[in-house]
Amino acid sequence: DTAVSQTPKYLVTQMGNDKSIKCEQNLGHDTMYWYKQDSKKFLKIMFSYNNKELIINETVPNRFSPKSPDKAHLNLHINSLELGDSAVYFCASSQDLWGGNTIYFGEGSWLTVV
């Protein structure tokens, strides 16, 4: 039973399109995240949500809009896709907001913009 699941796993789309990636966690965690892993394999935080509220937005372009309908879901919508958005996007969750908790990652969504 997958703890953090995200869909789709692979997504190829044209520049200018709008796309969404969905994420769900069944761990009962309060906090969810989106991380981006670029072509150099460097993982970086994008957003952090706690109980459906945005806590951290790490200077991500406003073409990226996370939405949390409930604390088990955190979806990522991307408008007007650009070539530079090609990356692997990881959803993650932890028990709560503060340090000290193990963070659980989904298997990633490979986005390719052509």
Partner 1 sequence: KQEVTQIPAALSVPEGENLVLNCSFTDSAIYNLQWFRQDPGKGLTSLLLIQSSQREQTSGRLNASLDKSSGRSTLYIAASQPGDSATYLCATAAGYSTLTFGKGTMLLVSP
Determine which residue in the list 21, 94, 111, 113 makes contact with partner 1, applying CB under 8 A. Answer: 94
Q: Which residues contact 101 (CB under 8 A, 6 or more apart)?
A: 94, 95
Is the separation of the CB atoms in 56 and 42 below 8 Å? no
- Residue number with CB closer to partner 1 (9 or 63): 9
How many of the chain's residues bind partner 1 (CB under 8 A)?
A: 29
Residue 102 CB, nearest approach to partner 1 (Å) = 5
Query: Taking CB under 8 A as the rule, does residue 55 contact partner 1?
Result: yes
- The verdict on 64 binding partner 1 (CB under 8 A) reads no
Give CA separation, 60 vs 3, 40, 56, 57, in Å.
26, 18, 10, 6
Specify which residues 55 forms β-bridges with. Answer: none
Cα 74–Cα 80–Cα 41 angle in degrees, nearest 5:
60
Q: Hey, which residues between 30 and 49 contact partner 1 (CB under 8 A)?
A: 31, 33, 35, 40-45, 48
**Could you list the residues that contact partner 1 (CB under 8 A)?**
4, 31, 33, 35, 40-45, 48, 55-56, 58, 90, 94, 96-108
